[in-house]
Amino acid sequence: MISSAVAIKCEETTKAIQVEYCRVLHERLTARAKQRIALEADEARDLVYAEEAGLWRHFGYVSMLEYLERALHYGPHAAKERLRVANELFELPKLAEKFRAGDLPFSVVREVTRVAVPENEDEWVASVDGKTAREVERMVSGLAKGASPDTRPDPKLVRHRIVLDVDGERYAKWRAMRIVRDDERGERLSDDELVDAIVREPSGDGTSRPCVHAVTTCRVCKQSRLVAGGMEVPLSQAACERLLCDSESAGDLESEEVEALKATIPHPTRRRVFIRDRFACVVPGCRSGRNLDLHHVVFRSRGGTHAMSNLVVLCSGHHTTLHDGQLAITGVAPDRLVFVFRRAGDDEPHLVLTSEPVWFEPIDEDERNPVPRGTEPDPGQGGP
């Protein structure tokens, strides 16, 4: 029989051996991680040299990207990212040095090169120290090139990926649906526009639903957010104004008083405007009869009212364009409107259009009192 003291000693020895074994494994793994990162840094430098030398031509490839895919076994997206990062690092020597030393992995370097420039390289190198790749992804999300780590993110620049995994039948249906949506607009929809088209369904009277998601605004910082699907997404001022154009108010969420939902635009007015504008976007030349919103010609924030003369029907695409500043609508609805189009960054318009008069033909007496079906005279015979 082994005494209890001996058993305890054996257990302690076993634990000590296990601890030492884990320590050695850890050192080996972290050392190899540094070596791997250093090799990736060397590869990044050589990729730039290879691109400058036109290396791919000497081996029968048509581009440097094809060389990366076939000779270095990168996927198409990874090949583009590797080459982009490699070129960026030549302008960011301190970041490149951290990369070569194995202190920053490629996943972190990739994200930092999206925003860092020589003028703020030191700030970024210091701010990402000790952070994981996911943390750095969140840091750069919504920032433009040249932004510093403390810059407030622009919600319009924050992007999210949607991935579908379906069988062949559903994939074919998805493609067919995509073609139909593009045909309805008369042009290929962006991914943002396609999602809008899918998630928006018409209500019973043929008009689009006045409120699909919720928009909240902080009373302190005034930042507005879209609440849906268990998450909150920051909104730009333009996006917030667009979503509140045609919505329902739930009142103050911090108040104990329960308020009934109140439509921003009265439902009878909504229906009348949709009928007047023929359930279609009023922008001249637009053929969209789906994904429609009501818009205030004079914004509510600028004193606009819910009068029918101040309301028009817009498709989601033109509604977004308007609030982004590339389209302006002035005048009186429905037939005294002016549409001014501007390209992004331009002050002067490149196109100005006016609305066409809306004519409602009167119903004549024959149409008002039609002859009962089956009693009309035969057109081949004369009168009685």
Return phi, psi of residue 354, to 5°: -125, 155
Q: DSSP letter for 378, please.
A: P
pLDDT at residue 379, rounded to an integer: 45
* DSSP H stretches of helix in the chain: 4-53, 64-70, 76-89, 93-100, 106-112, 121-127, 133-140, 168-185, 191-199, 237-245, 267-276, 316-323, 365-368
234 vs 109, higher pLDDT: 109
pLDDT digits (tens, 9 = 90+) for 16-29: 888 889 999 999 99
183 vs 318, higher pLDDT: 318
Average pLDDT over residues 258-286: 86
Q: DSSP letter for 314, please.
A: E
Q: Provide CB contacts within 8 A for 261, sequence distance 6+.
A: 248, 249, 250
Average pLDDT over residues 85-96: 95
pLDDT at residue 198, rounded to an integer: 77
pLDDT at residue 367, rounded to an integer: 45
Average pLDDT over residues 243-257: 76
User: Mean pLDDT over all residues of the chain?
Assistant: 83
- What domains lie within the chain, and their CATH numbers? 12-153 (1.10.10), 168-354 (no CATH)
pLDDT at residue 330, rounded to an integer: 93
The model carries a pTM of 0.56
Q: Say how many C-beta atoms besides its own lie within 10 A of residue 173's C-beta.
A: 11
pLDDT at residue 381, rounded to an integer: 46
- Comparing 93-107, 130-144, 361-375, which segment has the lowest mean pLDDT? 361-375
pLDDT at residue 275, rounded to an integer: 92
pLDDT at residue 204, rounded to an integer: 54
C-alpha 230/C-alpha 336 separation (Å) is 43
pLDDT at residue 373, rounded to an integer: 40
Burial state string for 34-63 with b = 16 or more CB within 10 A and e = fewer than 16: eeebeebbeebeebbebbeeebbeeeebee
Confidence category of residue 189, pLDDT binned at 50, 70, 90: confident
Residue percentage of the chain with pLDDT more than 70: 86
Q: Contact, 292 vs 313, CB < 8 A? A: yes
Check pLDDT > 70 for residue 246. Answer: yes
Quick one: angle between helices 316-323 and 237-245, nearest 10?
Answer: 140
Average pLDDT over residues 44-51: 95
Average pLDDT over residues 69-88: 94
* Three-class SS state of 321: helix
- Nearest to 301, CA basis, from 224, 234, 208: 224
Confidence category of residue 140, pLDDT binned at 50, 70, 90: very high
Q: Contact, 341 vs 327, CB < 8 A? A: yes
Q: Contact, 278 vs 266, CB < 8 A? A: no
Q: How many CA atoms lie within 13 A of 149 on its CB side?
A: 15
C-alpha 109/C-alpha 292 separation (Å) is 43
CA 87 to chain centre: 27
List, in sequence order, every residue forming a beta bridge with 328; answer none if it has no partner. 340
pLDDT at residue 72, rounded to an integer: 95
Dihedral-angle region of residue 330 (phi above 0 means left; psi in -120 to 50 means alpha; beta otherwise):
beta
* Three-class SS state of 226: strand
Q: Which residue has the tokens 């043929």?
A: 206
Check pLDDT > 80 for residue 283. Answer: yes
- Comparing 30-39, 110-119, 241-250, 270-279, which segment has the lowest mean pLDDT? 241-250
Check pLDDT > 70 for residue 3. Answer: no
